[in-house]
Amino acid sequence: MAENRAEFLAAAQALLGPRGLTRDPELVTPWLTDWRDRFTGRALALASPTSTAEVAGLLRLCTLHRIPIVPQGGNSGMSGGATPGADGGELLLSLRRMNTIRALETAARQVTAEAGVILETLHKAAEDQGLRFPLSLGGKGSATVGGLVSTNAGGTQVLRHGSMRALVLGLEAVLPDGSVFDATIPLKKDNRGFDLKQLLIGSEGTLGIVTAATLRLVPAVAERRVIWAGLDSIVAARELLLHCEAAEGDALEGFEVLPDHCLDRVVAFLPGARSPLAGAHRWHALIELVADASGAETLGERAEAMIATAFERGLVADAAIASNEAQAEAFWQLRENIAPAERAGGPAVQHDVSVPLADVPGFVEAVVPAVEARFPGTRAVAFGHLGDGNVHFHVLAPPATNDAAAWQENEGKTISRFVHDQVTHWHGSISAEHGIGQLKRDELARLGDPVALALMARVKTALDPLGIMNPGKLL
Ligand SMILES: Cc1cc2nc3c(=O)[nH]c(=O)nc-3n(C[C@H](O)[C@H](O)[C@H](O)COP(=O)(O)OP(=O)(O)OC[C@H]3O[C@@H](n4cnc5c(N)ncnc54)[C@H](O)[C@@H]3O)c2cc1C
């Protein structure tokens, strides 16, 4: 085995050159732990190819020498999918040096970007042409096109524009045997059988390496209105969402909810932060309306009318429309600091779940008290993308918990199983947008539909018969 690895390393070094393959611990170690610090692995080496041809050559070598591969983009994933296992035999394959924007076509409103292009760079490139890529998330300074495609990432604009599945128009990927699947040129209509790019989207590096994607762009935002609303219940939040969709469906880009104690934690954590509303409210909604040049002039009036009728219908207890960009940003900061505020407060277990849209209020109202009753001293927090049926369901450890790691490993796992059981009971998904990775693999095996799991296993075997693509993840 050692001889085999040595032969592989020599051939890979010759293929990729001195910068393309390293075993230097200083260069490799920073990439061996996931963003949430839950998993740390070891790697045979770190490969950083610069072209699709190099990726193809490398995968041929991996197949020849039976070397398992762990693809990695920005390492901002939430499920440990880009972290190698413990045995040190897997090749960490970074796509970060493949970071060219191959073409940005303004008339067609599409961009073809290599896998290593960082989301923030993509945003800037589109903005420079009066366009925008309508997907954003907290990890945008690290997350790459390849990672976003491979996890079918979501974020705060899914309500209007969909997740990556809806934004990928074309794809280029290298399969384990080194063949290149090239479907980067999008066709609006194409019925030549299976849509193979959809198979690769969300496959978390278990079927092939995404090397480039052609992505949909939309006109730049000319005007936005950000609204903070105080509500009596999550049921009222759902009614308000339906009201906003009916009034401004084409402009409604974000609809986030959070409970009062979640806002209190952020306000206590974030220097200079304060609640946008004077009174106390059990629930809060953050709403964003956007318009391109064609609807910019009337957006302010429309936002006011939408909120006025919500007041008349008794859907909101109080509301504030941000009066300028700085205030709009301050509202969003409250939402974006939920995770950092939580982390500063002590251990917690996080669940990224979804249930059918209409069931979100019922789910939250049933499962929050059920968790707190079953695990005394814990606090359950449900917040997030109400408009997508996607709730981040976090459970905070009892305040006196000293050993965070032990709590997470023992009680935390029991809590997660309980939450996932509830989600399954409500016909939901245990992974709405973060993927399965190694974090939820056993839970997917425990709770997934056996027919769907068997189908996925057959697809995996067909595309990756040697099982070298990101072993131990997803399936
Ligand atoms: C602060 C913060 C906020 C976040 N908010 C959101 C959010 O709102 N919504 C959301 O969906 N996610 C969110 N994320 C998670 C994360 O940013 C996304 O999952 C993102 O898509 C990961 O991209 P990446 O390049 O970092 O991928 P990595 O973490 O490097 O990899 C993720 C997975 O994709 C595979 N992979 C990576 N590149 C390739 C490739 N080229 N070919 C094949 N497989 C590949 C890896 O093997 C792994 O399984 C957040 C992360 C952070 C840190």
Give the strand pairing for 223-231 and 283-291. antiparallel
Give the strand pairing for 69-72 and 91-94. parallel
Tell me how far the alpha carbon of residue 149 lies from the centroid of ligand 1, in angstroms: 8
CA pair distance 76, 139, nearest whole angstrom:
6
CA pair distance 415, 374, nearest whole angstrom:
9
Q: Is the CB of 41 under 6 A from ligand 1?
A: no
CA pair distance 1, 287, nearest whole angstrom:
57
Place of tokens 């109080």: 318
Q: Is the CB of 204 under 6 A from ligand 1?
A: yes
Within 13 Å, how many C-alpha atoms sit on residue 153's CB side? 23
- Predicted confidence at residue 138, as pLDDT, reads 84
Q: Is the CB of 94 under 6 A from ligand 1?
A: no
Q: Is the CB of 299 under 6 A from ligand 1?
A: no
Radius of gyration of the chain (CA): 23
- Contact by Cβ (8 Å): 227, 241: no
Q: Is the CB of 68 under 6 A from ligand 1?
A: no
Element (H, E) at 41: none
Element (H, E) at 172: strand 168-174
Give the residue ranges of the chain where pLDDT is below 50. none
Tell me how far the alpha carbon of residue 247 lies from the centroid of ligand 1, in angstroms: 34
DSSP symbol at 409:
I
Give the strand pairing for 348-354 and 390-396. antiparallel
Q: Where do the DSSP E strands lie in 106-145?
A: 110-114, 131-132
Number of neighbouring beta carbons within 10 Å of residue 1:
8
Q: Is the CB of 262 under 6 A from ligand 1?
A: no
- Contact by Cβ (8 Å): 357, 234: no
For residue 158, the one-letter residue type is: V
Atom of ligand 1 nearest to the CA of 150: 34
Atom of ligand 1 nearest to the CA of 163: 11
Residues 6+ apart with CB under 8 A from 13: 20, 21
The SS3 call for residue 201 is: coil
Query: Which residue's alpha carbon is nearest to atom 27 within ligand 1?
Result: 147
- Predicted confidence at residue 2, as pLDDT, reads 67
For residue 86, the one-letter residue type is: A
Of 435, 370, 387, the C-alpha closest to 151 is 435
Residues 6+ apart with CB under 8 A from 11: 61, 65
Q: Is the CB of 432 under 6 A from ligand 1?
A: no
CA pair distance 101, 117, nearest whole angstrom:
7
Which of 78, 135, 464 should be mutated for ligand 1, with most atoms under 8 A from CB?
A: 78
Tell me how far the alpha carbon of residue 460 lies from the centroid of ligand 1, in angstroms: 21
CA pair distance 55, 114, nearest whole angstrom:
12
- Contact by Cβ (8 Å): 54, 77: no
Query: Which residue's alpha carbon is nearest to atom 4 within ligand 1?
Result: 138
- Predicted confidence at residue 1, as pLDDT, reads 59
CA pair distance 58, 4, nearest whole angstrom:
15
pLDDT in tens, 413-470: 999 999 999 999 999 999 999 999 999 999 999 999 999 999 999 999 999 999 999 9
Q: Is the CB of 84 under 6 A from ligand 1?
A: no
